């Protein structure tokens, strides 16, 4: 049932809902069976509301097993929608979406960890409502946009430590260590940069409860509005991007229908690098109605252009969802935020009614009694009188998770165990990289002189497995 307030608001504002045609293609080749996708083109904001529909396209690249990817696939969308009030207009709904995506990602991660699952997953989650595209991402699966004129835009962030210096600084400031495994004696070998304890090459994911709470599920979110000429989205796992550049993916699939384009991108990746990982590609064409052929070849000046800058939304604009762009092929940035700080991400500049309910957690949507919650801006749990303007608010368990993600406590309030071993895994190819004798080397240091280096000895176990004993303790578990 559509809330009466929504119907009245539509009548008063004469809300226009412009729907482009959405054409989709999906292709994959499997090596480990840990890539999962979610495609749904008729999602309803409210039950029974067939007018306010949107489309969702998501890619989950699991590691250390598939449990986290499957759980996120089955629960993430409902967790996002539960964080959005029921009585919003379309424009307000889109304005609330970035914050709701953060809450949904964190709730999904928290619920998964409550189930004691140790696997993890990247997530690239795309919502298309009219000409507005919103992308939330953790990990290294990427989403790019090719405009109708052939310009290429990145709509996601790369959370590989190797490619993200800011994330390295955040993790070290939160108590983690970032470094490489190198040959003993300090020989320089270019293995990927990883977070320790754990050995994960990503700084953000859903799951990975045994790696460290500084590996956070807080997504990078970008929201843009396409011109009515449309565009093409390419959403792919790292199995594609390890082999081809953004421009190569666009070039090899240009002019092809979405389904054929996805297959061509996967084929190109396999031809270049072989099948060493799961490879998945989703292609989404966003086209004006009654114009269903693939995107035409771009004008000469647009070909091969990579654009990282967007025209920002004007402060005087009254609507960002239905207003047509003043230029025919302009991709307009509405919102972008990548901070890992939950207090910053749950706040909002939009005056949305009921966004922060006084006795309800902004993340898990659980109601709490007066005096039990705390403001997300509070440095420690405070049980004083709650005031609406102090919101958003967190329950005790979500506040504890926020504190842990910011490096303010060890899991369980205690110290890490004194001596643990690294469980074998193959998800980030660590096994293939390890020499017979290795040591931990932080980035930019000499292995033989740095006091933080930890000697470790690899022992070959039955069935080809391996283990590491760490002199300083902490479980280092590769994902």
pLDDT over 90 at 225, yes or no: yes
CA–CA separation, 357 and 343 (whole Å): 16
Model's pTM, two decimal places? Answer: 0.77
| DSSP code per residue over 309-376 | --EEPPTT-S-SSSPPPSSTTPPEEEEEE----HHHHH--SS--TTSS-TTB-TTT--B--TTT-EET
Closest C-alpha to 147, from 331, 288, 304: 331
pLDDT of residue 52: 81
pLDDT digits (tens, 9 = 90+) for 166-179: 999 999 988 888 98
What confidence score (pLDDT) does residue 77 get?
97
pLDDT at 139: 96
Nearest to 238 by CA among 77, 66, 73, 59: 59
Quote the pLDDT of residue 441.
43
Between 11-15, 108-112, 446-450, the lowest mean confidence (pLDDT) is in 446-450
pLDDT over 60 at 33, yes or no: yes
Give me the pLDDT at residue 233, please: 98
The pLDDT of residue 447 is 35
For β-strands 21-29 and 279-287, DSSP reports them as antiparallel
* Residue 238: band (very low, low, confident or very high) from pLDDT cuts 50, 70, 90: very high
Q: How far apart are CA 23 and CA 27, in angstroms?
A: 14
Give residue 51's pLDDT band: very low, low, confident or very high (50, 70, 90): confident
**397: pLDDT strictly greater than 90:** no
pLDDT of residue 154: 96
Pairing between β-strand 306-307 and β-strand 152-154 as defined by DSSP bridges? parallel
pLDDT band at 440 (very low <50, low <70, confident <90, very high): very low
Q: What pLDDT score was predicted for residue 64? A: 92
Token pair in block for residue 325: 């762009």
pLDDT > 90? residue 125: yes
pLDDT band at 449 (very low <50, low <70, confident <90, very high): very low
CATH number of 4-159+215-341: 3.40.1360.10, 3.90.550.10, 3.60.40.10, 3.30.465.10? 3.60.40.10
pLDDT digits (tens, 9 = 90+) for 343-372: 889 875 544 444 556 678 889 888 877 667
Closest CA to 84 of 95, 98, 100: 100
Q: Name the residue with higher pLDDT: 477 or 106.
A: 106
Asked whether residue 315 carries a pLDDT value surpassing 70, the answer given is no
If one compares 395 and 473, the residue with the highest pLDDT of the two is 395
For the chain, state the CA radius of gyration. 23
Structural domain boundaries in the chain: 4-159+215-341, 178-199+416-468, 350-405
Least reliable range by pLDDT among 330-334, 383-387, 438-442, 448-452: 448-452
For the cut 90, the answer to whether the pLDDT of residue 131 exceeds it is: yes
Q: How far apart are CA 413 and CA 208, in angstroms?
A: 18
- In angstroms, the first-to-last Cα distance of the chain is 44
Per-residue pLDDT, averaged over 324-340, amounts to 73
Task: Residue 25: name the closest of 242, 233, 275, 247 by CA.
Answer: 233
Tens digit of each residue's pLDDT (9 = 90 or more) over 246-265? 999 999 999 999 999 999 99
Does the pLDDT of residue 452 top 50, yes or no? Answer: no
Is residue 450 over pLDDT 70?
Answer: no
Q: What is the pLDDT of residue 231?
A: 95
Share of the chain above pLDDT 70, in %: 66
Whether pLDDT at 331 is above 80: yes
The most confident of the ranges 177-191, 208-222, 383-397 is: 208-222
Q: According to the model, what pLDDT value does residue 182 have? A: 64
Report residue 78's pLDDT band, with 50, 70 and 90 as the boundaries. very high
Give percent above pLDDT 90 in the chain.
44
pLDDT in tens, 187-198: 555 678 898 878
Looking at residue 395, its pLDDT comes to 87
Confidence at residue 334, expressed as pLDDT on a 0 to 100 scale: 93
């Amino acid at each position: 049932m559509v809330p009466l307030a929504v119907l009245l608001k539509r009548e008063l504002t004469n809300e226009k809902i412009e729907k482009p045609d959405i054409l989709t293609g999906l292709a994959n080749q499997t090596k480990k069976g840990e890539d999962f996708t979610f495609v749904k083109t008729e999602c309803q904001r409210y039950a029974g509301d067939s007018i306010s529909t949107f489309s969702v396209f998501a890619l989950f690249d699991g590691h250390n097993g598939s449990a986290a990817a499957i759980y996120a696939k089955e629960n993430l969308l409902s967790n996002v929608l539960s964080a959005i009030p029921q009585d919003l207009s379309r424009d307000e709904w889109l304005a609330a979406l970035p914050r709701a995506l953060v809450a949904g990602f964190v709730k999904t991660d928290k619920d998964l960890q409550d189930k004691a699952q140790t696997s993890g997953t990247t997530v690239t989650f795309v919502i298309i409502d009219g000409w507005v595209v919103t992308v939330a991402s953790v990990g290294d699966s990427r989403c790019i946009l090719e405009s109708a004129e052939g310009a290429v835009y990145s709509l996601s962030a790369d959370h590989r430590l190797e490619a993200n210096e800011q994330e390295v600084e955040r993790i070290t400031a939160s108590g983690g260590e970032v470094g490489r495994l190198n040959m003993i004696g300090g020989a320089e070998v270019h293995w990927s940069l990883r977070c320790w304890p754990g050995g994960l090459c990503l700084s953000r994911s859903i799951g990975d409860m045994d790696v460290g709470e500084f590996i956070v599920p807080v997504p990078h979110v970008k929201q843009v509005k396409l011109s009515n000429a449309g565009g093409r989205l390419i959403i792919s796992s790292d199995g594609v991007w390890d082999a081809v550049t953004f421009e190569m993916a666009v070039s090899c699939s240009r002019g092809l229908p979405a389904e054929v384009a996805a297959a061509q991108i996967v084929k190109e990746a396999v031809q270049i690098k072989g099948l060493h990982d799961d490879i998945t590609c989703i292609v989404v064409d966003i086209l004006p109605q009654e114009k269903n052929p693939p995107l035409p070849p771009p004008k000469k000046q647009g070909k091969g252009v990579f654009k990282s800058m967007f025209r920002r939304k004007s402060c005087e604009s009254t609507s960002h969802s239905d207003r047509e762009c003043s230029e025919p092929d302009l991709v307009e940035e509405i919102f972008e935020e990548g901070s890992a700080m939950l207090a910053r991400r749950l706040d909002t500049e939009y005056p949305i009614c009921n966004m922060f309910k006084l006795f309800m957690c902004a993340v898990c949507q659980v109601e709490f009694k007066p005096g039990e919650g705390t403001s997300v801006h509070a440095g420690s749990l405070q049980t004083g009188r709650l005031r609406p303007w102090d919101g958003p608010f967190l329950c005790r368990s979500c506040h504890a998770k926020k504190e842990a993600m910011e490096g303010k406590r060890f899991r369980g309030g205690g110290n890490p165990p004194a001596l643990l071993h690294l469980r074998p895994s193959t998800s980030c190819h660590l096994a293939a990289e390890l020499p017979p004798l290795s040591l931990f080397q932080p980035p930019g240091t000499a292995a033989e002189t740095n006091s933080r280096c930890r000697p470790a000895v690899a022992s070959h176990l039955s069935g080809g497995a391996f283990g590491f004993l760490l002199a300083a303790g902490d479980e280092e578990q590769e994902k």
